[in-house]
Structure 1
């Protein structure tokens, strides 16, 4: 079943040509470059953007692909052009996504005793393995009321923030990721989230640009847990060939120990949970 969200309905009233031009401007691609990559004439593209020509369904999908428009927004383009959405938005609990759920849980279970979490497009927590409790037990219960937003949990003064030893650096990293996502998706909910996070206090210096220091190879998360100082790096995984909006927007973030002491602490912490 295809679900039309409030965001989709809100944009469907705008002409498809206006939306396409907005995405082209957002991607900083000229009409000529887009026309060449999509194998259409510049004149035809100009007519589509100005509303003088109605694009076919295939043309909308082709332009959306070459503009790297997310699947959710490609459905909006189709609706604006008078066509039905092409990409389903299936609930994660639906039988059709059983293989996806199994794959995600297998990845997270295999990552134990290291923390891993799954988030949706808006950074809401979808699932996590048992080791994520090492981070969430530092957080006020009020922030753990569903839907749990992991960026809010991380940067809120009642969340993980007081326990993050390099808060300025980690905050800059997370906000940079969110800004890039706002640019990529033009999602107003993500814009609101960014504006909210920017109001949170941060006593540490916040770098404007992520500039590596001598020997740095990634931005670490340095976390105080009980009497230990832990250091992590993370990897981000997505599905490679999604054709469903829900699947396309799932992100698995896996945290790894950056040193032997952190690895040993995580093994001991997991053992405590089993006892």
Structure 2
């Protein structure tokens, strides 16, 4: 890879695509590095929205020891089959460990059958396998009674754990108190948001900072419904925690910078009545007017 860096007009920060090319990364690798806080971004002050990567940040990442291999190792993600191989357990046992929340997914996608595919950081799985305290979970013939009872009850903490990780990402990207409030509101349904933020003007303002799911689809489509379901907290204690945090952040945001009130609509101006002509009716113009203005001919004697 060349040591030259791409420059942007007027010294503006790089778009994510340009930054990925300059760092020699795939765009998905850069996005995940940003998601994990490994690469810092700044708001796009050019009015285009989104985030950008500064030249100094690109230089910092490139100067790290072992770049790019060291960075790529930290953003490597694997699915269930590869994760089970890394832990040296059957795929079924790995799925049970993930459902119990012992390993945390970092991202997900929908396959062509609209099934959710969870992905895990290979680096975190290697650390989990190396921890001696986890040996009974990995090597015992049967899992302990407590975890088995939870699994039998249908526990699945993968969506909740992913939401916790994604919330950290949104908070790192947020700007100001309203932005932080929006990061918490992103995981609540509208009814819970209305309970935490009863003022309709504040809710309208908050929605400007409320991110949507990372996987989107046409409104009302199966993809959109699945993404919304995974994004929305459904456990009572998780909902309570999010709602409490949202209420506190909106209170702080209100004191620091109140939500703007809507501008009242002005009534349309009433047309002014036409003023009556001054000095009586005007003489007709044009050829007909000239004929009408000619003096009458004298009568013959």
**TM-score, normalised to structure 2's length?**
0.22
Query: Radius of gyration: which is bigger?
Result: 2
Task: Tell me: higher relative CO, structure 1 or 2? Use CA pairs within 8 A at least 6 residues apart.
Answer: 1
Which structure has more strand as a fraction of its residues? 1
